[in-house]
Amino acid sequence: MAIVSSNSTTSAADPLEDGRKRAMLLAALYIAQEQFGWLSEEAIRRVAERLDLSVGQVKSTASFYTMFKLQPQGKYRIQVCEGLSCYLVGGADPIIEYVSAKLGIQPGETTADGLFTLEVVQCLAACGTAPALKVNDELYENMTFTAIDQLIERLQEQAE
Amino acid sequence: MENVELQQDQVAIPTYTELPYYRKQVRIALRNCGIINPQRIEDYIARGGYLALAKALTEMTPDEVIGVMKESKLRGRGGAGFVTGIKWEFARRSPARPKYVICNADEGDPGAFMDRSILEGDPHSVIEGMAIAAYAIGSEEGYIYCRAEYPLAIAHLKTAIQQARDYGFLGKNILGSNFNFDLHIKEGAGAFVCGEETALMASIEGRRGEPRPRPPFPAVSGLWSKPSNVNNVKSYAMTPQIILNGAEWFASIGTENSPGTAIFALTGKINRTGLIEVPMGITLREIIYDIGGGIPGGKKFKAVQTGGPLGGCLPAEALDTPVDFDSLVQAGATMGSGGMIVVDEDTCMVEFAKYFLTFASAESCGKCVPCRIGGRRLLEVLTRISNGEGKPEDLDEIEYISRNMKEASLCALGQLTPGPVMASLRFFRSEYEAHIYDKKCPAKVCKGLITYRVIEENCTGCMVCKRNCPAGAISGEKREVHYIDPSICERCGICITVCKFDAILIE
């Protein structure tokens, strides 16, 4: 999709072109988040500039969606599913509590070394292999406490 | 194989279709999933892929395509069940240009994963279905709005779209027909409400995913206020098969008013979990017992939730209900997009309803008051009841709030949020009453209403429970009967799991 550089004449003549530029916002926020690790004021200002939007418009949109992070994030984002299927097989709460105790952080918080952020998320669509969690983009299924121990250990080694 | 004779005590290895899990299935949308390599367009073509698009472009007019879709009576598999052909006809008749074809792949229901499986396992079927829809309504551009939580689905879609372009199934002058069509993928960003079509289009436009009132319907004024056709992944995936095999073939499967197949994600307390595709009209009992293999651990079936967090549950008495759009609604649940969650006797229905309500109220976008405030209030009442602080007037309160949410909310999210509560109240009212009047949780789940007690005659004083209790609520010396202090006990149940002598019970 071509982004036409906006000047007042094109946008007045073709409201669709203006709309197309705004339509890049979610994708632009993802790119900014990838680069900065999270959506800082600076990142938001840059996205707004690039897309000819106000900072308010960008912030309002970013804050609507749970996947846009307005706080700094850990290197590994551990997202524990609290979907019903995970709950029914005894996952969800115990797993959240276990990870939380192990890392010493509450859901939404990041460890002091900046390595892990714990998040509680909605259904990861791995219901047939519940309980499930995700680390960044990687899905881990049929989780047990032992599997979590190994996973976190491996991530810690990887980070060193 | 003819040389091999089975001895009397030998059993032949069953073929795929003989397995109980597959015997009753009819796979239309899932026909290629698990069979082809989804990243090779050649595999899809070898299974008859893109033949339907070729047929539509070379042998049929757009009106004929719409005619076949209408005749097949395919109803939208996203849950609402509106006849797809009629939807396409509305979009075709809209005079404004350009027009858009949109695929709703924002599958967000807890317990549903069929759209993910189709996108990951057979992305070309969705692309082909969308191209046929585009030809029918007169569109040259399409969007697939996919949950960002599905990175593999997005990756497979990207590959598939590029391959389709390379083979000339997307792009300019497709198959020499002068028909142009191309596709874009839009990633969501974690908002359940974006599954609602007007919110979905707002999100494609790069705005907050908030729904707006309908009419105007998307067919008249949708994406960028242009005519747009929004269908679910499954509806598009079924389209090529309908065009190829004809409306009559499709209508011969399933029931008169709900032809074709239904796809369910079977999960929860059931022996065989996974995706199934069955002819409409099959009973819940056949799905749960014949296909799903019943309830594990010799437990008793209690309820099945269809339609996800906006659906409803049905009790054992409703097990012979045929599964189709109308029968499920009549019975008190909904078809929804295909989650089917089975629960056994150990599940508290108040807690179960509270779970869905917690989800739905957290996902309210906040734009309209009945949904934003109603969901919260409802959750407060349910929390009160499950904590043992329920009041006799609470059941009326639930009905009052639910009615208002249903009548006054802007979109289906708010209108259907009370669904699970209303259904569980209808079929399991006595459980609610036990919580409120007797201060008891019959399934022994709600922490505020249960106590753990040591059965003195069984306790050997082995100290295992005492060592494992994370709250330090258990006291007792070696070889003496132990005691659980209810004021310290956190009701986590670890003591029951570790006790080898069945010496702990829940009251």
pLDDT tens digits, one per residue of B263-276: 999 988 999 999 99
- Indicate whether A6 pLDDT > 70: no
Residue A2, in any domain of the structure? no
Residues of A in contact with B347 (CB under 8 A): 88
Helices (H), B295-368: 325-331, 349-362
Q: What is the mean pLDDT of residues B139-153?
A: 95
CB–CB contact A67 B268 (8 Å)? no
Please, what is the end-to-end C-alpha distance for chain A in angstroms?
A: 41
**Same-domain pairing of A50 and A121:** no
Q: What is the pLDDT of residues B164-210, one digit of tens each?
A: 999 999 999 999 999 999 999 999 999 999 999 999 999 999 999 99
Contact A125 B267 (CB under 8 A): no
Residue B65 has pLDDT above 80, yes or no: yes
Give the integer Cα–Cα distance in Å for B126 and B144.
9
Q: In whole angstroms, how far apart are CA B429 and each of B235, B330, B408, B442, B459?
A: 37, 19, 25, 12, 37
Kindly tell me if the per-residue pLDDT of A3 is higher than 70.
Answer: no
Count of domains forming chain B: 4
Residue B100: CA atoms inside 13 Å, Cβ hemisphere, count? 24
What is residue A83's predicted lDDT score, i.e. its pLDDT?
83
Mean pLDDT of B9-30: 88
Contacts of A98 in chain B (CB under 8 A): none
Size of interface A-B (CB pairs under 8 A): 108
* pLDDT value of residue B130: 98
Q: Are B138 and B179 in contact (CB under 8 A)?
A: no
pLDDT, tens digit (0-9, with 9 covering 90-100), for B301-347: 999 999 989 999 999 999 999 999 999 999 999 998 888 999 999 99
Q: Do the domain assignments include residue B358?
A: no
How sure is the predictor about A11, in pLDDT bands with cuts at 50, 70 and 90?
Answer: very low
Q: Does the distance separating the beta carbons of A125 and B107 come in below 8 Å?
A: yes
The answer to whether residue A69 is domain-embedded is no
Closest to A118 (Cα-Cα) out of A74, A66, A63: A74
pTM of the model: 0.90
Does A103 share its domain with A140? Answer: yes
| Per-residue confidence (pLDDT) for residue B492, from 0 to 100 | 80
Same domain, A34 and A81: no
Q: Is A31 on the interface with B (CB under 8 A)?
A: no
- Check if A140 contacts B (Cβ < 8 Å): no
Cβ under 8 Å to B: A residues 69-128: 83-85, 87-88, 121-128
Contacts of A130 in chain B (CB under 8 A): 267
pLDDT value at residue B109:
86
Q: What is the mean pLDDT of residues B489-507?
A: 88
Q: What is the mean pLDDT of residues B484-496?
A: 88
Q: Under an 8 A CB cutoff, do B189 and A137 touch?
A: no
Give whole-number Cα distances, B297 to B269, B294, B300, B345, B503, in Å.
9, 10, 9, 11, 20
Mean pLDDT of A49-69: 95
Average pLDDT over residues B403-417: 96
Partner B contacted by A145 (CB < 8 A): no
Tell me which chain A residues have a C-beta less than 8 angstroms from the C-beta of B30. Answer: none
Say which amino acid occupies B384: R
Q: Are B129 and B102 in contact (CB under 8 A)?
A: no
Residue B422 is part of a domain; what is its CATH number? 1.20.1440.230
Look at residue B67 and tell me if it is in a domain.
Answer: yes
The answer to whether residue A55 scores a pLDDT higher than 60 is: yes
The DSSP bridge partners found for residue A121 are: A81
Q: In this structure, is residue B357 part of a structural domain?
A: no
- Residues B287, B194, single domain; the answer is no
Residue B126 is assigned to a structural domain of this protein: yes
pLDDT for A66 beyond 60:
yes
Q: What is the extent of the structural domain holding B109?
A: 31-251
State the average pLDDT over residues B451-478.
92
Size of chain A, expressed as the number of residues it contains = 160
Q: Radius of gyration of chain B from Cα atoms?
A: 26
Confidence tier at B6 by pLDDT (50, 70, 90): low
Residue of A nearest to B206 (CA): A23
Residues B144 and B93 in one domain: yes
CB contact under 8 A, B151 and A16: no
The Cβ of residue B4 has, within 10 Å, a number of other Cβ atoms equal to 7
What's the CA gap between B460 and A67, in Å, rounded?
Answer: 52
Query: Of the candidates B121, B108, B114, B135, which has an alpha carbon nearest to the alpha carbon of residue B53?
Result: B135
Q: How many CB atoms lie within 10 A of CB B381?
A: 21
pLDDT of residue B52: 98
Model confidence pLDDT, tens digit, residues B231-264:
999 999 999 999 999 999 999 999 999 999 999 9
Which of B149, B206, B268 lies nearest to residue A22, judging by beta carbons? B206
- The residue assigned the tokens 């926020």 is A29
Q: Of B369, B209, B360, B211, nearest to A67 (Cα)?
A: B209
Confidence bin at A87 (pLDDT 50/70/90):
confident
Q: Is B256 exposed, middle or buried (0-12, 13-18, 19+ CB in 10 A)?
A: exposed
Q: For position B444, what pLDDT does the model report?
A: 92
Tell me, what's the pLDDT at B149?
86
Does a structural domain hold residue A89?
yes
* A42 and A104 assigned to the same domain: no
Site of tokens 């669904």: B419
Angle between helices B62-72 and B84-93 (to 10 degrees): 150
Whether residues B56 and B165 fall in one domain? yes
| CATH code where residue A106 lies | 3.40.30.10
Last residue of one domain, picked from the residues B228, B251, B274: B251
Residue A19: per-residue pLDDT: 87
Q: Would you state the pLDDT for residue A9? A: 38
Say yes or no for a CB contact (<8 Å) between B206 and A130: no
Instruction: Check CB contact under 8 Å for B113 and A127.
Output: yes
Answer yes or no: do B152 and B280 share one domain.
Answer: no
Choice between B483 and B491, residue whose per-residue pLDDT is larger:
B483
Provide φ and ψ at B192, rounded to 5°: -55, -35
Identify the closest residue of chain B to A63 by CA–CA distance: B208
In a domain? residue B353: no
For this complex, say whether ipTM is above 0.95.
no
Q: Transcribe B398-418 into DSSP letters.
A: HHHHHHHHHHH-SSHHHHHTT
What are the chain B neighbours of A125 within 8 Å (beta carbons)? 107, 112-113, 116, 149-150
Boundary-marking domain end, from A7, A33, A64: A64
Q: What CA–CA distance (Å, rounded) separates B43 from B111?
A: 30
Looking at beta carbons, which residues of chain A come within 8 Å of B112? 123, 125, 127
Residue A142 lies in a domain: yes
Residue in chain A closest to B356 (alpha carbons) equals A84
User: What is the reported pLDDT for A14?
Assistant: 60
The alpha carbon of residue B267 and the mean position of all alpha carbons in its chain are separated, in whole angstroms, by 10
Q: Report percent pLDDT > 70 for chain A.
A: 90
Chain B nearest-CA distance from A61, in A, is 5
- The span from the CA of B272 to the CA of B291, in Å, is 7
Residue A155, domain extent? 76-159
Q: What is chain A's mean pLDDT, rounded?
A: 86
Q: CA B321 to CA B176: how far, in whole Å?
A: 49
Q: Do both B19 and B142 map to the same domain? A: no
Which residue type is seen at B34? G
Mean pLDDT of B18-31: 93
* Res B1 pLDDT > 50: no
pLDDT tens by residue, B78-126: 888 999 999 999 999 999 999 999 999 999 888 888 999 999 999 999 9
**Interface membership of A54 toward B (CB under 8 Å):** no
Pairwise CB contact (< 8 Å): B186 & A61 = no
**Which of B116, B189, B363 has its CB closest to that of A68?**
B189
